Amino acid sequence: MMRTAHGLVQTPVFMPVGTLATVKAMTPEELKELGAGIILSNIYHLYLRPGVEVVSALGGLHQFMNWSGGILTDSGGYQIFSLASLRKITEEGVHFRSHLDGSSHFLTPEKVVELQLAMGADIMVCLDECPGYPAPEEEVHRAADLTLRWAKRCLEARRDKAAPLFAVVQGGMLPELRREQAQAFRELNFDGYCLGGLSVGEDKDTMLAMVEATTPELPENKPRYLMGVGTPEDLVEAVARGVDMFDCVLPTRNGRNGMAFTAAGKVVVKNAVYARDPRPLEENCGCYTCRHYSRAYLRHLYLSREILCYRLLTLHNLYYYLHLMADIRQAVAAGRFAAFRREFYDKREGGNTRG
């Protein structure tokens, strides 16, 4: 359980991604009805457009987007990493050009904290450097060391000590370095800890090995957040390894691309097999989409490029993810997570199991 300025958040939790102060295709009211208590926004994107001055003048991020729940703001470290040709990293911070209009900007650890405070974030994230994959070991070590120094500066820059601040553990695919980073951050006593630099091209087993190396070194009484991950299987496996928080664009992005998540696996509605299929996406699913529409109708909408299809599939996917996490929480509380994990895989097509 986490306490934020906008209410309690039960963990393990999945945060729908609202990068630009909106979860694509969903209204805030719909998100609440689906069970979302906290979402993720991105300070890099909001800083560039519409700008912190606009959001702050209009009452902060919650009022700006009419969202009464919690908001975690990512610092933008990953986005800056992905714009390698447009940025230059120094000890002081990051010089970069906007991907929108080419304008020049300079973000420091201190400014990133200042921006998140001005936006009214419930949980802030330190600026970090995310190394590429694969990357030379010396580059991974350099990025991890810089991330640690920047995190210390973020702590010093936090004027409001009551505002939660999460550090980002880096270390590439080097388990010993990740353990060292986690230990160093733990001693600095942050409010929570992000596992960054994963799901950047490595295989699933490697990603899970890095999670397994890192989480035991972080305090059990503070949130451990795996950034940008992932599939339903990723969520189950990461919870088994001690992760408390997740975010990922898959439910919304895949919904817009015609794919639904179900307990039995994926349903790709454009497939011809669904042309006359009267069934919902998932039998016994309580979401609005499954209660009202058939696979055949959703396929028709998708092939016709109707906006309603993107909304209906996104709504179902978020319902599935949020209810999966609710089931995980219930299983953990009842002391039957191991049984839940087996049942989860038994329901997948082919009964593919882990652990």
Widest Cα–Cα separation across the chain? 61
247 is catalytic: yes
Q: Look up residue 280 and give its amino acid.
A: P
Q: Which of 122, 128, 234, 247 is catalytic?
A: 247
Q: Which of 74, 122, 234, 244 is catalytic?
A: 74
244 is catalytic: no
Judge contact between 145 and 170, C-beta under 8 A.
Answer: no
Q: Is 71 left (phi over 0), alpha (psi -120 to 50) or beta?
A: beta
Query: Is 91 exposed, middle or buried (CB count within 10 Å of its CB: 0-12, 13-18, 19+)?
Result: exposed
Write out the catalytic residue numbers: 74, 247
